[in-house]
C-alpha cells in the first residue's frame, strides 16, 4: 500500500495502514484462485507468502463468484486470526436479480455476511467498495460502512478504482457526518500504468488514504515472460488487455523490451509503486 508516511525499510517491511501492522507487500487472488490455478497451488502460495512475512491478503466476493474467498479462507484457517489482515470487496453482480450488485444497503448487508461465511472468519479487516456506484446515494453507502464498523463485522473500509474527486467527496462527507472514514483506495498501478500519478496519488496524500496497489507487474507483462502481444493476458471486464498501458510504446516493443530484463525487470517492477520518486512510500501493494 502506498501511504503518506515515511519510506519503509528494505525487504518486506511492516506498516500501519489499518491501525495495526501489515506487510508492505500483500497477496491478492484476482484471476487466479478459483480459476486458473488449483486450490492446492493457491494454498501453497498463501503459505509461502505467510512464511516470508506477508500478512496482508486481499480478495473479493466477485472473484470466481465467491470461490476465491473460500480458497483464501481455507488457506488461512491454520494461522492465528490475529496474525494476518484480511481484505475483500463488494460491488459487482453476484446474481441476476435487481439487487444483486452495487453498493445499496441491501446488497452490501447481504454480501458482507456471504463473505464472512466463505472466508470462515468473524470479521473482515478491510472491506472495500470495488467500484463507485452511480445509482446509490453516497450517503447510503457511507452509512452502511459505518454501521458495519460499529457492529464489528468489519474493522475498516476502503474503496477500489475511485477517482480523485470521488475520494475527496467521500472523505469530506464521512467527516462531516461523524461516520467512519475510508482508509484506503485500490488502484491499478505499475511502471506501465501510471495515470494515477497525476491526481489520484496526490489526493490520497492530501486526505491521508493509503493505496492497495494491484497489478504492479502489469498482469505479468513486467515479468518479461511474454514475447508477443498475442500472448498478453486478458482480464475480464473493463480492464481488458493491459497493452494499452504501455505509454508511448507499441505493445510488441513493450513486450520485447520487458523480455530482455528477466529477473532484474521483475524486481524493478515490483519495487516501482513504492519508490520514493513516485511521490509516496509503501504500505501495502497487493499482488493480485
Q: What is the pLDDT of residues 148-168, one digit of tens each?
A: 999 999 999 999 999 999 999
Q: What is the pLDDT of residues 176-214, one digit of tens each?
A: 999 999 999 999 998 888 899 999 999 999 999 999 999
pLDDT-wise least confident of 43-52, 140-149, 259-268: 259-268
Place 282 in a pLDDT band, splitting at 50, 70 and 90: very low
Structural domains counted in the chain: 1
pTM strictly above 0.75 = yes
239 found inside a domain: no
190 found inside a domain: yes
248 found inside a domain: no
pLDDT of residue 131: 97
Q: What is the CATH number of the domain that holds 138?
A: 3.20.20.100
Q: Longest C-alpha distance within the chain, in Å?
A: 53
Place 273 in a pLDDT band, splitting at 50, 70 and 90: confident
269 found inside a domain: no
pLDDT of residue 233: 61
pLDDT of residue 2: 46
Place 18 in a pLDDT band, splitting at 50, 70 and 90: low
233 found inside a domain: no
pLDDT of residue 245: 46
Percent of the chain at pLDDT > 70 equals 75
224 found inside a domain: no
pLDDT of residue 263: 56
Residue 172 contacts by C-beta under 8 Å, 6 or more apart in sequence? Answer: none
Place 259 in a pLDDT band, splitting at 50, 70 and 90: low
251 found inside a domain: no
pLDDT of residue 40: 96
Domain range for 114 is 2-218+278-287
Active site residues: 63
Q: What is the pLDDT of residues 84-111, one digit of tens each?
A: 999 999 999 999 898 999 999 999 999 9
97 found inside a domain: yes
Q: Which residue has the higher pLDDT, 200 or 254?
A: 200
Amino acid at each position: 500500500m502506498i501511504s503518506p508516511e515515511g519510506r519503509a525499510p528494505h525487504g518486506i517491511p511492516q506498516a500501519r495502514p489499518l491501525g495495526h501492522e501489515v506487510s508492505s507487500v500483500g497477496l491478492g487472488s484476482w484471476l487466479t484462485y478459483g480459476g486458473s490455478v488449483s486450490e492446492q497451488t493457491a494454498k501453497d502460495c498463501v503459505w509461502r507468502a505467510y512464511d516470508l512475512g506477508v500478512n496482508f491478503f486481499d480478495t473479493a466476493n466477485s472473484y470466481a463468484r465467491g470461490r476465491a474467498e473460500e480458497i483464501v479462507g481455507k488457506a488461512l484457517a491454520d494461522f492465528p486470526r490475529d496474525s494476518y489482515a484480511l481484505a475483500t470487496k463488494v460491488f459487482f453482480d453476484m446474481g441476476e436479480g435487481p439487487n444483486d450488485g452495487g453498493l445499496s444497503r441491501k446488497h452490501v448487508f447481504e454480501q458482507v455476511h456471504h463473505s464472512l461465511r466463505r472466508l470462515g472468519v468473524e470479521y473482515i479487516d478491510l472491506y472495500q467498495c470495488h467500484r463507485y456506484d452511480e445509482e446509490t446515494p453516497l450517503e447510503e453507502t457511507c452509512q452502511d460502512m459505518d454501521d458495519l464498523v460499529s457492529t464489528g463485522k468489519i474493522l475498516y473500509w476502503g474503496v477500489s478504482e475511485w477517482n480523485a474527486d470521488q475520494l475527496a467527496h467521500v472523505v469530506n462527507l464521512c467527516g462531516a457526518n461523524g461516520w467512519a472514514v475510508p482508509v484506503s483506495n485500490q488502484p491499478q498501478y505499475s511502471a506501465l500504468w501510471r495515470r494515477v500519478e497525476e491526481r489520484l496519488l496526490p489526493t490520497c496524500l492530501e486526505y491521508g488514504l493509503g493505496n492497495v496497489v494491484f497489478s504492479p507487474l502489469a498482469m505479468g507483462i513486467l515479468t518479461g515472460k511474454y514475447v508477443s502481444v498475442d500472448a498478453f493476458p486478458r482480464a475480464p471486464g473493463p480492464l481488458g488487455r493491459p497493452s494499452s498501458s504501455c505509454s508511448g510504446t507499441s505493445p510488441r516493443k513493450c513486450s520485447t523490451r520487458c523480455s530482455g530484463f528477466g529477473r532484474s525487470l521483475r524486481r524493478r517492477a515490483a519495487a516501482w509503486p513504492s519508490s520514493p520518486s513516485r511521490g509516496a512510500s509503501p504500505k501495502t501493494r497487493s499482488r493480485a
